[in-house]
Amino acid sequence: MVNQLNRVRALRYLDPLRAGGSVPGIVETDDLGTYVVKFTGAAQGRKALVAEVIVGELARRLGLRVPELVLVDFDPAVGAHEPDAEIQDLLRASSGLNLGMDYLPGARDFRPELLKVDPLEAGEVVWLDALTANVDRTRGNPNLMVWHGRLWLIDNGAALVFHHRWSGAGAAVAKPYDLSAHALGGSAPDVEAADVRLAPLVTPELLREVVALVPSQWLSPEEDGFDSVAELREAYVRQLATRATLSEQWLPRSFATEQQLRATEAARSARTLAGRPAWLQQVPDLRGGERPN
């Protein structure tokens, strides 16, 4: 396994992808590749890129499919033709090293009717998301792609929630997260079998290999309360290695049905309406649909 990510140089900025809040862009590079690039200047900041590297490369080493990750040297002049002023601001704020994910031409967003996922594979994806506190792989936002008839994991930047407040990381090391609405919850995920296979593989040695792939300039030890980059890297290793040994405490075992999810969403919409002033109760809830009659 490589001990560093490939580094490439952006040659051409093609298009922004507006579906996500970070507005990544499709970029051609000097290795003749095309990548979806996530920028350091996005609102989510560098920690989202740190999570992408750690979770994505850990997933790869555990046998799950993740598009190749590369480091992309980006000169904002490459995107000078982009007409959107906000995106221009993003590109100018992202000069230097950014993260690219191999563009999968023709890939489609995962839907259960598009691909039948084996219970063990589904369980392994759920297990990884539970380990890394990734609650952003839901039925409504699966962050999974189907390419050449196989499942691929993308968009892991919302994981590792503990690194946004390291002072609380210790208390969260065994915390169970609500994955009842997981995108693969309807695939009968065998998380018990996944735990048996994967937990022993998540060793400090493997984690050090993965964490070492994160560029030092994306880490801010002083802001996070550490004395050095090396100490911060070891904190990631310690947190995830300890959590892997405590899987019995956080292993997700129940998943909502489509009916239960719809009922939960209807109840949420009703609470939203009830909390509005009377003059606003005729306005549609854009997150939950039209106001019920």
DSSP alpha helix (H) spans, the chain: 46-61, 85-92, 119-131, 191-198, 204-211, 221-224, 229-245, 247-250, 258-274
pLDDT for 211-231, tens place per residue? 999 999 999 999 999 999 999
Confidence class of residue 257 from pLDDT cuts 50, 70 and 90? confident
> Is the pLDDT at 86 greater than 80, yes or no?
yes
Residues of the chain with pLDDT > 90, as a percent, come to 83
Domain range list for the chain: 6-250, 266-293
pLDDT at 290: 41
pLDDT of residue 280: 60
- What per-residue string of b and e applies to 105-114 under the rule 16 or more CB within 10 Å gives b? eebeebeeee
What does the pLDDT read at residue 253?
Answer: 92
Is the pLDDT at 292 greater than 70? The verdict is no
42-78 residues labelled b (16+ CB within 10 A) or e (exposed)? bebebbbbbbbbbbbbbbbbbebbbbebbbbebebeb
Instruction: Give the pLDDT score at 99.
Output: 98
Average pLDDT, the chain: 92
Instruction: Name the DSSP class of 170.
Output: G
Query: Does the pTM of the predicted model rise above 0.95?
Result: no
Tens digit of pLDDT for each residue in 129-181? 999 999 999 999 999 999 999 999 999 999 999 999 999 999 999 999 999 99
Distances (CA, A) of 106 to 1, 20, 111, 149: 28, 19, 15, 11
pLDDT band at 291 (very low <50, low <70, confident <90, very high): very low
Check pLDDT > 80 for residue 71.
yes
